[in-house]
Amino acid sequence: MQSASSRVPRKPAAASSLGKPSSSGRCGKPNRPQPTSSFSKTAQPGTAGRFGTSTALVASAAASHFTAGARGQSTPFVGQADRTGREGSVCGLRAPQNGATGAAAHTEKRQAARTKVVDDASAPVVVVGPERDSVPFRLCCEALAEGCVQTYMHLFELAHRDPVCVDTLSRKFFNVPDDRLAWVQQQLSAVEVLRRQSEFEQVFTHCEQLANYFESEGDYAEAAWYHEMALHYMMESLDRTLEQRARHVYATFQERQGHLEEAAALYDAMYRLAVALRDEAALQDASRCLVRVHQALGEALKSSDPAAAARHYATAAEAAVRGKNVVDEGAAYSALGDVSEARGDLPLALKYQRSCRAVAQQNDLKPQECQATLRVADLEERLGLKLEASTTLHEALQLAKELGVPRQLCIATMQLGEAYRSRNQEDEALQCFDESFAAAIEAGDQELIDTVRIAMGFARGDYYLTHAYGGKGYLHLVYTDIRAQLAWMSGGTL
């Protein structure tokens, strides 16, 4: 015979098979097949040999035990009336009426076990304890009562997750408090209900509020989840304006977190959708964002991976051209020139710097043109293009004087002085260094002042070495005129 415990249904099956409660308050009998046993097969109602059959079965079992005892084995049924309560029926010593009474008692016991199983299955999972009285339990039940299954699932996960470490150094952990958990439940339920009603703009507002809350608490993974959910729902809505808004908000969030690659992918999707929709405003916005992100990626990689940085700068230049942003276009060309110079490719660097200068000239960007002209002149000088470098430096000096910017004037005159020195034009070089030193003093940049002072010192040293003491040179002064040497050492007069 099967035991009562072997017939206990699993929780899902029991929950699904329960009927509605009757007027007496007890659950109806579950609609499931009743298990049959050997006893029920032998004791059918209305059978003539009902009691005799059961007695014969018991007597045969007792006989087998007596046989085992005769062979030297133990006989557990003999003399154990206190354990079974029906010693006579086991041994076959009582009347058939007593056997029928025992069988009826056994049937009643099994029926009581079945009733207990049904009652246990119909009882709730949490019967007593602090969990049922907690705020998360109540909020989850409210979400289910409102028909918001997704809200229930996510709220249950939020309420039972481990605290999130939001600051590793200070060991600060975050978990949603009960008062804010109620607010989160309201927002999630609103999102689910409004989504069914196709009120997607309000859905986006609630998702954004949830994302901002978790971002302010430092739980960036949860905030990113709400941004992704908002973007997914806005794509469902077929409202491309809302979709672009959600994608832009998500991309700026990724940019704030330093996830520039993810932000670049989102901005690129924004640009492609704007092209498909012929939305000029969204196209310009996406192009500006792409320039900014790829410029930042290039800056982050230019020291460790110049080739990757060059690719990002090239992408930024393309986005600037598409967005008709000449300032960013020139900045991207200048950055490409710097990276090419760092990689040792001076001709390519000169090409990019000339492109930057051309963009500035075409759009009347005087400060950018002056700076690009100085860079072009420096590269031409290093590549041995002396004539081109001299012409470019004079143009840069003229631009700097027109702008009246002391720093650029200082750099232009210093570079021109170095060019004169390389051509052994010492007088012109000293004049340029004097002007450069005066401009550096006016700019007030100490680092620039020191740089000009060193360059001017070397230029003056070379000049005095060959032109001091009436054009005879400094060495002739040391060998022949000790008084003039002492005057120079004490008063600095040559």
What's the average model confidence in pLDDT over 369-383?
89
Determine the 3-state secondary structure of 45 from DSSP: coil
Measure the N-to-C terminal CA separation of the chain; round to a whole number of Å: 126
CA distance 220 to 156: 19
Helix, coil or strand: residue 196: helix
Question: For residues 189 and 313, what is the distance between their CA atoms, to the nearest angstrom?
Answer: 45
pLDDT of residue 460: 78
Task: Compute the C-alpha angle 335/336/341, nearest 5°.
Answer: 95
Cα within 13 Å of Cα(452), Cβ side: 32
Lowest mean pLDDT among 8-22, 215-229, 255-269: 8-22
Nearest-angstrom CA–CA distance, 244 and 285: 11
Residue 429 lies in a domain: yes
Contact 126, 114 (CB under 8 A): no
DSSP 3-state helix, strand, coil percentages of the chain (rounded to 5)? Answer: 75, 0, 25
Residues comprising the chain, all counted: 494
Identify whether 15 is part of a domain.
Answer: no
Interatomic CA distance for residues 330 and 327, integer angstroms:
5
110 located within any domain: no
Q: For residue 332, tell me if it sits in a domain.
A: no
Q: Can you give the C-alpha Rg of the chain in angstroms?
A: 47
- Average pLDDT estimate for 350-375: 91
Minimal CA–CA distance to 280: which of 246, 244, 247, 313? 244
pTM: 0.63
Q: How confident is the model at residue 273 (pLDDT cuts 50, 70, 90)?
A: very high
Give the domain CATH number at 409.
Answer: 1.25.40.10
Answer yes or no: are the C-beta atoms of 279 and 291 closer than 8 Å. no
How many independent structural domains does the chain possess? 1
Domain annotation covers residue 304: no
The answer, yes or no, to whether residue 79 has pLDDT greater than 80, is: no
Structural domain includes residue 273: no
pLDDT at 242: 92
What the block records as the tokens of 383 is 């590549």
Across the range 184-194, mean pLDDT stands at: 90
**Position 260 in a domain:** no
The average confidence (pLDDT) of the chain is 75
CA atoms 40, 42, 45, 51: torsion sign: negative
Domain enclosing residue 431, as ranges: 374-494
Asked whether the predicted pLDDT for residue 121 surpasses 60, the reply is no
Residue 289 CB neighbour total at 10 angstroms = 23
**pLDDT score of 464:** 72
| CA neighbor of 390 nearest in space, from 431, 421, 349 | 421
Nearest-angstrom CA–CA distance, 12 and 2: 22
Mean per-residue pLDDT, 313-334: 92
Residue bearing the bigger pLDDT, 386 or 95 = 386
Q: Is residue 458 part of a domain?
A: yes
Lowest mean pLDDT among 26-35, 210-219, 258-267, 378-387: 26-35
Q: Which of 102-111, 397-406, 480-489 has the lowest mean pLDDT?
A: 102-111
**pLDDT one-digit tens code per residue, 417-466:** 888 887 778 888 888 888 888 888 888 888 889 988 888 888 877 777 67
User: Residue 164 pairs with which residues in a beta bridge?
Assistant: 174
